[in-house]
Amino acid sequence: MSPAVEPLLTLDGIETFYGSIQALKGISFKVLEGSIVTLLGANGAGKSTTLKSISGLARPARGTVSFRGRRIEGLPSEKIVRLGISHVPEGRELFPELTVLENLKMGAYARTDKRAIQRALERVHACFPILAERRSQLAGTLSGGEQQMLAIGRALMAEPILMLLDEPSLGLAPMLVEEIFGIIRDIHAGGTTVLLVEQNANKALSIADYGYVLETGTISLAGDSQQLLRDDRVRRSYLGHR
């Protein structure tokens, strides 16, 4: 009998509030190293808050977040980045008045090894050749698809163990959605574990190993991606089937 694999990330009983409003009501789940896990759910279900509770942008009132066996809830975001977690937020949140290159370098702010930073930059340019071409262009002048690539590239500059991706296909044309999901596959193939929040459930489940469905701050359903693709509740609510 083989020993149990220790999860890379574990959430246990997470409750997060915005003022008096409770956004998460005891969320518990695990992410195994080397996997892609997706969080599905309607707007307001708590998906983005879950990612923020992991990355330190929101502080849980109760419960624990453990990364590689270490509790990280309550740590400041910059320390969580140094531990190996990068967060690509919904809406990209770039620095529009900085150039593409300057935005990318902001992703490596916690690093001091110049050679390692240069290698990371070369990796990003290999993933996103357009960012190399536009290195001197202001981020605010890029197209929506290019801005999403820059947001992902900035997160890659930290060479994360775990990448949190919040709605990477939001507002993109179908052709660009295909390209972004291909990039996510490539990032995963390069050894990065991915926790993905995505409205496009069909696309998310097509690349994920496992998924969780959130409803009003709780997990209502969980299973491997193929199970969820076949589940009638998922098909009706998120895949457009009747």
Sheet with strand 162-166: strands edge to edge: 85-88, 162-166, 193-197, 36-40, 210-215, 218-224
Reply yes or no on whether the pLDDT at 237 is more than 90.
Answer: no
> For residue range 56-89, what is the model confidence (pLDDT) as tens digits?
999 999 999 999 999 999 899 999 999 999 999 8
- In tens, the pLDDT along 172-204 reads 888 888 888 999 999 999 999 999 998 888 899
Strand order in the sheet with 21-31: 21-31, 9-18, 62-67, 70-71
How confident is the model at residue 170, as a pLDDT? 85
CA 101, CA 106: separation in Å to the nearest integer? 9
pLDDT value at 3 more than 50: no
d(CA 190, CA 146): 21
Percent of the chain surpassing pLDDT 70: 96
Query: Which residues, 6+ apart, have CB-to-CB distance to 1 below 8 Å?
Result: none
Q: What is the pTM of this model?
A: 0.90
- Tell me which of 238 and 125 has the higher pLDDT: 125
